[in-house]
Amino acid sequence: MELLPLVLHVLNVIVIWAVLSLSLNFLQGTAGLFNLGHAAFFCVGAYASALLAKAGLPWIVCLLASVLFPALLALVYGLPTLRLKADYFATVTMGIGEIIRAVANNLQGVTGGPNGVPSIPCPSLFGFQFSRGPGTLVLGCVVLLLTYLALDRWRRSGFGRVLIAAREDPTAAQAMGKDTYHFRLNCFLLSAGFAGIAGSLFAYYYGYISPGDFGLWVAYNLTLTLTIGGSGNYRGTMLAAAVFIIMRDGLRFLPLPPTAQGPLQQLLFGLLMIVIMWRFPQGLIPEVPTITFAKHSSQRSEESWESQA
C-alpha cells in the first residue's frame, strides 16, 4: 500500500477520535461523570448525519442535526439520572449505550439494521465538495481546533471551576451556592453535542456506518485514551488519540500475517497501560489549574504597561 493514503487515513481517524475523546474528557475528566455509554451520542450523531446526507440535505444542516439529536438524548436521560451519585450514573450510561446500539440494529426501516447505511455522500459547503481523505481531513482539523478551544475556554472559566468543584466534593460545591445538577446537565448536553459532531465526521469520512461501529469497545478505547493522555487535560487527550490510533490502525499496514495483528494490538495496549500506570499515573500531561495567580498577575502588569504606553 502506498504511504500517502495510509497517512491520510490515519490522520483522518486521529482527528475524529480526538474530537470524540475531547468530548468525553470534558464530561469525565473535568466534571468527573463517568460515561460508559458515550458511544450512544457518537452513534446518534453519525446516524443523524448519514441519514440526512443521504436524503440530500446540505452538510451544515446535517452537522447541526448531529449536535442536536445527541444533545436531546442527553437531556432525556440526563434529567432523571444526573441526580444520582456518580457511580450509579455510570451504570445507567452503559445501559443507554447498549440500548441505542440495539435500536440502530433493529430499527431496520430507518437505520438499515445490521447492514448499516452505505454510500454516504461527501460533505460540501457553498458548492465546494470536500473529497474523502484530504478534504475531510481539513474539515476535521478545523472542527477539532474549534472543539479544543471551546472546551478549554469552558474549563478555564467559572463554569469549569464549578464542574471541577462538584467532581471533587459535591456537598461542598452545593454549600458554595452552586446548583451542581444544573451545571452537570449543561456539561452533559455539551459533551453529547461534541460527541455527535465526532459521529458526523465519522460518517462522512467512512461513507458507511453500521451498528457494529458503536459497541462497548468504544467505551473501553475511550477510557484507554483518556488514561494515556491525562484525565482533565485536553492537549493530553489529543496526543493520546494520536498514539492510540497509530497503534491501532497503523499496525494494520505492517507486513504481518492477519492472525498476528489482533493479538499483537492487544499485547501492545496492555503494555502501554502498564507503562502509563507505572511511569505516568496521571497520564502523559496531567490536569493543570484553570487559573494561576503567577500567570494572571504577569498578564495584568503587561496590560497596565500597555495602558501607560
Question: Binding residues for another protein, per CB under 8 A?
Answer: 150, 153-154, 157-162, 164-165, 168-169, 171-180, 183, 186, 190, 287, 289-294, 296, 300
C-alpha cell at 261: 495483528
Would you call 56 helix, strand, or coil by DSSP? coil
Shortest reach from residue 43's CB to another protein, in Å: 25
Least CB distance to another protein at residue 84 (A): 16
Element (H, E) at 129: strand 128-129
Whether the CB-CB separation of 101 and 213 falls below 8 Å is answered with no
* Cβ 160 vs Cβ 25: under 8 Å: no
Size (the chain), residues: 309
* Residue in this structure with the C-alpha cell 426501516, named with its chain if needed: 109
Residue 276, C-alpha cell as written in the block: 502509563
Shortest Å distance, C-beta 153 to another protein: 6
**Residue with smaller CB distance to another protein, 131 or 292:** 292
Rounded distance between C-alpha atoms, residue 132 and residue 206, angstroms: 8
Amino acid at 166: A
- Residue number, 45 or 160, with CB nearest to another protein: 160
**Closest approach of Cβ 164 to another protein, in Å?**
6
Cell numbers linked to 277? 500506570
What does the DSSP assignment read for 114-162? GG-B--PPPPEETTEEPPTTHHHHHHHHHHHHHHHHHHHHHHTSHHHHH
Specify the residue, 250 or 286, whose C-beta has the smaller distance to another protein: 286
Smallest distance from the beta carbon of 222 to another protein, in angstroms?
21
- In order of 216, 299, 309, the CA distances from 304 in angstroms are 53, 9, 9
State the nearest-atom distance from the C-beta of 64 to another protein, in Å.
Answer: 17
* Residues sharing a CB contact under 8 Å with residue 110, sequence separation 6 or more, in sequence order: 51
Q: Is 116 or 160 the residue whose CB approaches another protein more closely?
A: 160
Nearest to 230 by CA among 35, 30, 19, 31: 30
Q: Which is nearer to another protein, 3 or 294 (CB)?
A: 294
Shortest Å, Cβ 69 to another protein: 19
Cβ nearer to another protein, comparing 207 with 286: 286
Q: Which is nearer to another protein, 131 or 300 (CB)?
A: 300
